């Protein structure tokens, strides 16, 4: 069980690094017209942050249940929320890739 928990901890750490790197790059992509940064990059960063947080909550409630505390309903709910968040991010990724491919097929 500790191997799975260590793998999850490592995955969350790597996701946090990606989020922080995306945040630093997002600051460079500021919109010169409005003077504001963010936009799509900020939305992705927020989505990644919420996925990481829902994963941490799911892991924490699962570990609490394994240690003898907690409620089965809470564990199932937390895991379902994490699954929905990941599925949403995968859908967004797939649509971005599809849009990129369509743009690349456009004649010049």
For 25-60, what is each residue's pLDDT tens digit? 555 444 444 545 568 788 888 888 888 898 899 999
pLDDT at 70 over 50: yes
The answer to whether residue 69 scores a pLDDT higher than 90 is no
User: In which domain, by residue range, is 55 found?
Assistant: 2-105
What is the pLDDT at residue 40? 78
Question: Who wins on pLDDT, 84 or 39?
Answer: 84
Please, are residues 49 and 9 in contact by the beta-carbon 8 Å criterion?
no
Q: What would you measure as the largest C-alpha separation in the chain, in angstroms?
A: 63
Q: How many CB atoms lie within 10 A of CB 96?
A: 12
* Residue that wins the pLDDT comparison between 77 and 9: 77
Distance CA 15, CA 49 (A): 8
Domain count, the chain: 1
**CA–CA separation, 27 and 108 (whole Å):** 31
């Amino acid at each position: 069980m500790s191997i799975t928990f260590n793998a999850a901890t490592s995955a969350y750490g790597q996701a946090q690094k990606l989020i922080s790197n995306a945040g630093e790059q997002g600051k460079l992509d500021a919109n010169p017209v409005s003077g504001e940064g963010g936009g799509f990059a900020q939305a992705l960063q927020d989505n990644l942050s919420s996925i990481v947080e829902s994963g941490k909550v799911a892991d924490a409630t699962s570990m609490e249940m394994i240690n003898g505390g907690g409620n089965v309903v809470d564990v199932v709910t937390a895991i379902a929320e994490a699954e929905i968040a990941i599925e949403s991010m995968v859908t967004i990724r797939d649509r971005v890739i599809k849009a990129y491919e369509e743009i690349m097929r456009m004649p010049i």
